Amino acid sequence: MRCPQCGNDTQQGAAFCARCGARMFASKPASVREYALTVFRPSLWYYARAFIFGGIFIAAGARVLYIKPDIWQAGFGLIAAGLLIFIAAMIRARAVSWSLTSDRLIERRGLVAKRKREMELADIRSVEVSQRFVQRLIGLGDVTIASAASADYAIRLNDIRSPEPAAETIRLARLKRLA
């Protein structure tokens, strides 16, 4: 069997190249298909700051309309700015997702300019969960998945709900993939 990266002859059935460490590709049977397991999204708590600022703008606009109706343009302008902040936060919340399939973890970011990163489940080196104090209070956390393919390649699931079960789902999918 020849390494696709460096061309070195390796033992038949080897998972990685002995010279460069590249993953040896094994052909998949046609009956094995990739299927979706779950989709992770950041919690709306991640955008709480934008919601608070939007609410402040709307309240300030309503107050201006109530106290000084003669400057109604400023009041409606503040309300419109608050609504735009709300809408922008909701759009940003839909712009990030992480999909776990039977073979890969896929990170998708962006609405207009899109970025997609994929990590094979067999290449996962570690799955780490971190929760800051405020995240623990509201049940959120970050899950970092490091790749064995590169030391600096990792996918980070920011502010997801129930990070421990999410990390366990990824671990189980990885183990099932390796079996």
Q: Is 174 inside any structural domain?
A: yes
Q: Is 9 inside any structural domain?
A: no
CATH number of the domain within which 174 lies: 2.30.29
Q: Quick one: 103 and 157 in the same domain?
A: yes
The total domain count for the chain is 2
Q: Quick one: 84 and 110 in the same domain?
A: no
Q: Quick one: 105 and 174 in the same domain?
A: yes
pLDDT in tens, 19-72: 777 777 655 555 567 888 999 999 888 888 999 999 999 999 999 999 998 999
Confirm whether pTM is higher than 0.85: no
Q: Quick one: 70 and 141 in the same domain?
A: no
pLDDT at 12: 77
Q: Is 74 inside any structural domain?
A: yes
Dihedral of CA atoms 14, 15, 16, 18 in degrees, nearest 10, equals -20
pLDDT at 13: 74
Q: Quick one: 119 and 151 in the same domain?
A: yes
| Enclosing domain of residue 68 | 46-92
Q: What is the DSSP letter of 2?
A: B
Residues 6+ apart with CB under 8 A from 25: 4
Dihedral of CA atoms 83, 89, 91, 96 in degrees, nearest 10, equals 180
pLDDT at 31: 55
Q: Token match 């997702």: residue? A: 97
Q: Token match 């421990």: residue? A: 164
Q: What is the DSSP letter of 5?
A: T
Q: Quick one: 55 and 105 in the same domain?
A: no
Q: Quick one: 139 and 174 in the same domain?
A: yes
Q: Quick one: 127 and 63 in the same domain?
A: no
Q: Is 66 inside any structural domain?
A: yes
Give φ, ψ of 5 to 5 degrees. Answer: -85, -55
Q: Quick one: 77 and 139 in the same domain?
A: no
Residues 6+ apart with CB under 8 A from 17: 3, 5, 6, 8, 10, 23, 24
Q: Is 6 inside any structural domain?
A: no
